């Protein structure tokens, strides 16, 4: 009897539970045994799911009860010319998606941007947040509590930063609702996206604060962070990176490549992305930012749920005498080039394709460059989709490429 078969028998007898397999077997054998057990229980074959290339041992950092891997098609668009503060040059864009026409759309947008001399990209804010909530006695106690935090911020910073080799506490912003006090901690997490880093650092800080004040900690996260939920605070104050990408496209390039007059493209953007989004109560005033961001997140090992914050994007289009000005501003783009899923084999290769895997020199430069590249890719996607809508070619493209 093989080790795997023995483990399956122990699972069937109830001697072992699914989550206990790695305690008694190599992670790869544990995954095989767990998959075989699930196959027998569900009466299905998971042969393809069991054919994965990443290390089961390394994957323990990213998932529990591993049984295999899901494959999503990966395409490449570009290259796209980026003129950023951290990303400077020509970049291929790895895009992982099941939506036909998306890669072709981004590719067309890249060609328009390149014909206009590339996209200028800049980061305006950077910082990952965690916001615990405390209970206090009343409004007066809330005022005393906030004053204490302000007076002792350097001490709190020392406690928080003692938990990390790289993270830096940038600031603490208080918000009061009755007897609730939220402290929104903001950190520079260098090349990591940083959610784990800031959670551990903030836990140390809040324990110190609670032991030094009369406030009672209710939750380490009070949802004012805000992580993985639509939230105005991220759209306004930012989270991760607030980054803008823009381009001025000569009028003849707009008509030749997007098949639409500049004024029409501007009107589509105003009526669709601005008026339509406002009427819908949307936090995203864009055409398809989440499409591009999700595809690059999957390709490069980012936390895919944070596409929610990434789609806090505003697209602007302004006809000018020297060309059509188009921009995207991503208020809360949360990315990293170390940690999370960036170490998995395929995601690592995708980051290497962009030239941005691992820590940068200086620290943080790779993550910022990745944010700039994704912003440029988002701009390309917006240009192409607005052009397709303005020229009424959207349905035709999906019929031809969407399959």
Reported as a single tens digit per residue, the pLDDT across 367-389 is 999 999 999 999 999 999 999 99
Residue 296, pLDDT score: 98
What distance in Å separates the CA atoms of residue 226 and residue 270, rounded to the nearest whole number? 28
- pLDDT of residue 391 exceeding 90, the answer is no
Q: Where does 117-275 have alpha helices with state H?
A: 139-151, 153-161, 195-212, 232-237, 251-258, 262-268
| Domains in the chain: boundaries | 12-71, 74-126+231-402, 132-219
Question: Whose structure tokens read 């759209």?
Answer: 235
pLDDT in tens, 342-365: 999 999 999 999 999 999 999 999
Cα distances (angstroms) measured from residue 1 to each of 9, 79, 161, 242 = 10, 53, 51, 57
The residue-averaged pLDDT of 225-236 equals 94
Confidence (pTM): 0.94
Of the pLDDT bands very low, low, confident and very high (cuts 50, 70, 90), residue 403 is low
- Contact present, 185 and 205 (Cβ < 8 Å): yes
Q: Read out DSSP for 147-164?
A: HHHHHTHHHHHHHHHTT-
Q: What is the mean pLDDT of residues 25-40?
A: 92
* pLDDT beyond 60 at 20: yes
The b/e string for 111-143 (b: 16+ C-beta within 10 A; e otherwise) is bbbbbbebbbbebeebbbbbbbbbebeeeebbe
In this prediction, residue 400 has a pLDDT band, given cuts at 50, 70 and 90, of low
pLDDT at residue 299, rounded to an integer: 98
CATH topology of domain 12-71: HMGR, N-terminal domain (1.10.3270)
- Is the peptide bond preceding residue 157 cis, with omega within 30 degrees of 0? no
Q: What is the pLDDT of residue 396?
A: 54
- The DSSP element (H or E) to which 133 belongs, if any, is strand 133-135
The string of pLDDT tens digits covering residues 301-322 is: 999 999 999 999 999 999 999 9
Closest residue by Cα to residue 219 from 183, 192, 268, 262:
183
Contacts of 369 (CB under 8 A, 6+ apart): 84, 86, 87, 356, 360
Higher pLDDT, 152 or 60: 152
For residues 77 and 97, give the distance between their C-alpha atoms in angstroms, rounded to a whole number.
Answer: 12
Regarding beta strands 240-249 and 323-333, do their DSSP bridges make them parallel or antiparallel, or are they unpaired? antiparallel
Active site residue 303: yes
Closest CA to 249 of 307, 323, 346: 323
CB within 8 Å of 170: residues ≥ 6 apart:
127, 186, 187, 188
Q: Is the pLDDT assigned to residue 6 strictly greater than 80?
A: yes
Q: Give the span between the Cα atoms of 368 and 358, in whole angstroms.
A: 12
The whole-number pLDDT of residue 333 equals: 98
Cα Dmax for the chain: 78
Q: Which of 3, 6, 39, 99 is catalytic?
A: 99
Q: What is the pLDDT of residue 180?
A: 98
Looking at domain 132-219, its CATH architecture is: 2-Layer Sandwich (3.30)
Average pLDDT, the chain: 94
Domain 74-126+231-402 sits in CATH 3.10.580.10: no
- Residue 398 pLDDT exceeds 60: no
Distance CA 356, CA 91 (A): 10
Please say if 398 is a catalytic residue. Answer: yes
364 by DSSP, 3-state: which? coil
The model's pLDDT over 265-314, given as tens digits with 9 standing for 90+, comes to: 999 999 999 999 999 999 999 999 999 999 999 999 999 999 999 999 99
Which of 246, 303, 372, 382 is an active site residue?
303
Residue 395's pLDDT band (boundaries 50, 70, 90)? very low
Residue 74 CB neighbour total at 10 angstroms? 17
| Domain 74-126+231-402 matches domain 132-219 at the CATH topology level | no
Please check whether residue 112 is in contact with residue 384, taking contact to mean a CB–CB distance below 8 angstroms.
Answer: yes
3-state helix, strand, coil split of the chain in percent (to 5) is: 45, 20, 30
> Is residue 88 flagged as an active site residue?
no
The helix/strand/coil state of 135 is: strand
Question: For position 393, what pLDDT does the model report?
Answer: 58
Q: Which tens digit of pLDDT belongs to each residue from 107-121? A: 999 999 999 999 999
pLDDT score of 401:
55
* 66-89 pLDDT per residue, tens: 999 999 999 999 999 999 999 999
């Amino acid at each position: 009897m093989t080790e795997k078969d023995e483990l399956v028998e122990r699972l069937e007898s109830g001697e072992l539970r699914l989550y206990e397999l790695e305690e008694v077997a190599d992670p790869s054998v544990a995954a095989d045994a767990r998959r075989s057990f699930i196959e027998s229980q569900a009466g299905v074959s998971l042969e393809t799911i069991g054919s994965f290339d990443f290390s089961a041992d390394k994957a323990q950092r990213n998932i529990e009860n591993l049984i295999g891997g899901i494959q999503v098609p990966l395409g490449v668009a570009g290259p796209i010319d980026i003129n950023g503060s951290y990303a400077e040059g020509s970049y291929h864009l790895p895009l992982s998606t099941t939506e036909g026409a998306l890669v072709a759309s981004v590719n067309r947008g890249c060609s328009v941007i390149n014909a206009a001399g590339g996209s200028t990209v800049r980061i305006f804010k950077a910082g990952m947040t965690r916001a615990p909530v405390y209970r206090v006695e009343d409004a007066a106690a809330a005022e005393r509590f906030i004053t204490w935090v302000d007076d002792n911020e350097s001490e709190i910073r020392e406690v928080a930063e003692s938990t990390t080799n790289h993270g830096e506490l940038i600031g603490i912003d208080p918000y009061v609702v009755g007897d609730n006090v939220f402290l929104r901690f903001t950190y520079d997490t260098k090349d990591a996206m940083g959610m784990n880093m800031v959670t551990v650092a903030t836990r140390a800080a809040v324990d110190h604060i609670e032991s030094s004040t009369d406030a009672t900690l209710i939750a380490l996260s009070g949802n004012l962070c805000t992580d993985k939920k639509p939230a105005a605070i991220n759209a306004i104050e930012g989270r991760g990176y607030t980054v803008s990408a823009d381009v001025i496209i000569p009028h003849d390039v707009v008509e030749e490549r997007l098949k639409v007059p500049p004024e029409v493209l501007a009107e589509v953007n105003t009526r669709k992305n601005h008026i339509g989004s406002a009427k819908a109560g949307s936090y995203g005033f864009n055409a398809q930012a989440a499409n591009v961001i999700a595809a690059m997140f999957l390709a490069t090992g980012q936390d895919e749920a944070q596409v929610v914050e990434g789609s806090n994007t505003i697209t602007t289009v302004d006809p000018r005498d020297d060309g059509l000005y188009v921009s995207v501003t991503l208020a809360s783009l949360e990315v990293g080039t170390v940690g999370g899923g960036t170490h998995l084999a395929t995601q690592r290769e995708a980051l290497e394709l962009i030239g941005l895997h691992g820590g940068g020199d200086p620290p943080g430069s790779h993550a910022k460059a990745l944010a700039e590249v994704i912003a440029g890719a988002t701009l390309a996607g917006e240009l192409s989709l607005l052009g397709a809508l303005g020229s009424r070619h959207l349905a035709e493209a999906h019929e031809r490429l969407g399959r």
